[in-house]
Amino acid sequence: MKKIEAIIQPFRLEPVKEALHAISVKGMTVTEVKGFGTQKGIREVYRGMEYQVDFLPKVKIEVVTTDDKVQTVVETIVKNARTGRIGDGKIFIYPVAEVIRIRTGETGDEAV
Amino acid sequence: MNRKVSFFIILLFVAGVITASLPLLAGADNPSTPAAAAPTNDPSGSLTGTVKDITAKEAGKPVLEEIAEAVGHNKISINIVWTLITGYLVMFMQLGFALVETGFTRAKNAAHTMLMNMSVYFIGLLGFWICGFAFMFGGVGQVANLGMVANLNNEVTWNLFGKDFGIIGYKGFFLSGDSYDVAVFTLFLFQMVFMDTTATIPTGAMAERWKFLAFCVYGFFISMLIYPIYGNWVWGGGWLSQLGTNFGLGHGAVDFAGSGVVHMVGGVTALAGAIVLGPRLGKYKKDGTPNAIPGHHIPMGIAGALILAFGWFGFNPGSTLAGTDLRIAVIAVNTMLASAGGAMSAMLYMWFRFGKPDPTMTVNGLLAGLVAITAPCAFVNAPIAVLIGLIAGVLVVWSVLFIDGVLKVDDPVGAISVHGACGAWGVLALGLFADGTYGDKWNTVEGTVTGLFYGDGGQLLAQVISIIVNFVFVFVAAYLTFKLIDVIIGNRVPAEVEMGGLDVPETGVLAYPDFILAKSDRKETANGELG
């Protein structure tokens, strides 16, 4: 089992969610986050003065899936989150030691 | 609720409505009602208010004196009701100021900024009631438009060159004695909310670093001394208003609704306060160039600006103190036109120069137009009103860039520029553009108020003098006040309080307890460097 953590542009959340639905991903967790990447934020002008926005708003998606589906899920996220412009985000994949469904007590792949 | 019970209640209601309207329906269908019978009601409104309503010895047959009595009472009633209602509108501007100032500053100080804006209302009110009103209007005489019976006739004067110059009023303390009078109370309400407008202007320029206790003390100084004294000189019969009668300078200093008396006084006080207080941490880089510190809630600021624009329909037209003076139509239209000019020119200027129509500067432009038209609103025509607004919109942007970048005085919301610079421009504009169609016997000088371009350079001179006196007197008085407060209790919060936000250390509560990230997404260090 793996956890796929994707930081994406907030406005790409809807298409990514729809596409994950379509490939039968059963659950996901979404968090509004702020951060910076290679460009270290952007510059804007307020009342005639430049200022640095250090942390840009992003959306973090977390999906836990069985090993065999990892590739499909990642490809789906990349395909739907990509705009080709700076700031599209990153995906991180982590191993998951165990999954437990609280209601039934099921564990492992059954519980994903 | 049980569905059956609700159905039963609805049924009862419908039955009641039908029962009640049956006689009406019957009446409409029945032309046999005798025409001569006295009417039992008046749905159209044409029968309500008749000769019966004029108080007369013989009911229904008043003599001429009794009719004249009623007409006079009605005229003054209209004026007093008008003045009170426009005063209520001006009071609502407190909310506008609160929203603009809080929206244009950071979330971590929102409760503090909002509380200052609310507190200035009641602190100023008490101060103005104690002695501010008496100092300002104690010598104004009997205000004719309000039909005043009481006489505010105690102006302290100074005899110079054989002429009397009014220095300060001295009657009406605590609104007691002779001042227990409907017209005096009306004048108090209207003038009190004006004073509060002045008092709330510096809270914007000094936001995000001002100790709350210091602010409270300031609230009494501005409402009891600084504002009333300059106000007396222009509106209370004092020496600036006498420049016409004493020296033949037009009608003396003329300021219809307070570009100078209200706004410039507030703006100059804000300048003195912001200088004494110093810039916010992180406002200036080591090389002295300013950083932008964006406000946390632009929609709040814009809502506040629109509330202010609405309140201005009380501010300017109300300053006639007379609903029977129909110049109010010209004043109201000039007011809205100038605000449009100001917002338009500020927005376009920012757009062309910096690439985007900056919302906060557009707000400043709208307010700049309003501030600038406040003095001349009753004396100029429509195209000039637009011109005054257009100039104010650009002036406010230049002034903000100058104060931030050259003077290096930190004014988070642009209050010094909006109210100080554009207030001065408004007083000057009156001296240039007053077209001579209004203001006969203003400040007891014969003839109408006329500016330089319509033939009276003396009026312009009186305006210039009032601007210079305003700046010098208010700046010195306010600077000394803030310095005094600095010595006794200190004006500025400690650096760690400023960095963490004033809300909890100063007021004990966070404005937005659920949003932590918003206040910490800009790193600030004590040496003024952005992280």
Q: Which of residues 19-38 of A touch B (CB under 8 A)?
A: 34
Chain B residues within an 8 Å CB radius of A32: none
What lies within 8 Å, CB to CB, of B118 at 6+ separation is: B94, B98
Tokens, residue A105: 């007590």
Rounded CA gap, A101 and A94, in Å? 19
Residues of A in contact with B404 (CB under 8 A): 47-49
CA B134 to chain CA mean position, Å = 20
CB contact under 8 Å between B401 and A50, yes or no, is no
Chain-chain contact of A47 with B521 (C-beta, under 8 angstroms): no
How high is the pLDDT of residue A42? 83
Residues of A in contact with B358 (CB under 8 A): 45-48
Sign of CA dihedral B382, B383, B388, B392: positive
> What does the pLDDT look like over B415-459, one tens digit per residue?
999 999 999 999 999 999 999 999 999 999 999 999 999 999 999
The continuous run of DSSP H or E covering B158 comes out as strand B155-160
Nearest to B292 among A34, A51, A54 (CB): A51
* Shortest CA gap A81–chain B (Å): 25
Where are chain A's structural domains? 2-111
* A85: contact with B, CB 8 A cutoff: no
Q: Tell me: the pLDDT tens digits for B101-121?
A: 999 999 999 999 999 999 999
CA distance B218 to chain A (A): 29
Class of domain B74-494: mainly alpha
pLDDT score, position B1: 53
Is residue B411 less than 8 Å (CB to CB) from chain A? Answer: no
The average pLDDT across B36-48 equals 88
**Mean pLDDT, range B62-87, rounded to an integer:** 97
* A49 → closest Cβ in B292, B355, B397: B292
The confidence band for B12, taking pLDDT boundaries of 50, 70 and 90, is: confident
The sign of the dihedral angle between the CA atoms of B75, B76, B77, B78 is positive
Q: Model confidence over A25-42: pLDDT tens digits? A: 989 999 999 999 888 878
Question: Which CATH architecture best describes the domain A2-111?
Answer: 2-Layer Sandwich (3.30)
Predicted pLDDT at B35: 57
- Inter-chain residue contact B397 with A48, CB threshold 8 Å: yes
ipTM: 0.72
Residues of A in contact with B405 (CB under 8 A): 49
Burial level of B451, CB count in 10 A (0-12/13-18/19+)?
buried
The chain-wide mean pLDDT, for chain B, equals 93
Q: How far apart are CA B90 and CA B96, in angstroms?
A: 10
Domain-wise residue ranges, chain B: 74-494
Burial of residue B19 (CB within 10 Å: 0-12, 13-18, 19+) is: exposed
Task: Look at residue B527 in the predicted model and tell me its pLDDT.
Answer: 53
Residue at token pair 């951060």:
A35
Give the pLDDT of residue A9. Answer: 95
